[in-house]
Amino acid sequence: MAKEYIVLEPKNKYGNINLNKSVFSSIALNVIEEDENVKLVEGNKPFKGGIVTKIDDNQLTLTVPVKVSYKANVSDVCANLQNKIFESISYMTEHTPDSIEIEVVGFIF
């Protein structure tokens, strides 16, 4: 069953650290906002669009729908974005995502 948080490995005897899935979505959103070649796709229907974060058995999966600048190389932009999201989440939370899927749903003209 999917949970709403990740349990990090305890480093001392004082307790566990649990990170809500919104933490990972926020980190990914910050990375997207720093890149001028991509824009996050927000849906116009409630709960549609935006970053989809799933946690199942303490495994993190992100699905990121974006629009890419028509002047940019799509493969390079997506690979770069995927790497930056992975590095940011790993560095900030000490948890490595299991899957980061970048979905190109349109272009920025």
CATH of the domain at 41: 3.30.70.1350
| 6 occurs within a structural domain | no
CB 78 within 8 A of CB 12: no
Write out the residue range of the structural domain in which residue 66 sits. Answer: 17-108
57 within domain boundaries: yes
Span 92-104, pLDDT tens digits = 998 999 999 999 9
Specify the pTM. Answer: 0.88
Q: How many CA atoms lie within 13 A of 106 on its CB side?
A: 9
In the chain, how many domains are there? 1
Tell me, yes or no, whether 2 lies in a domain.
no
Question: Is 26 within the bounds of a domain?
Answer: yes
Angle at 29 between CA 23 and CA 31, to 5 degrees: 110
51-88 pLDDT tens trace: 999 999 889 999 999 999 999 999 999 999 999 999 99
**Alpha-carbon Rg of the chain, whole angstroms?**
15
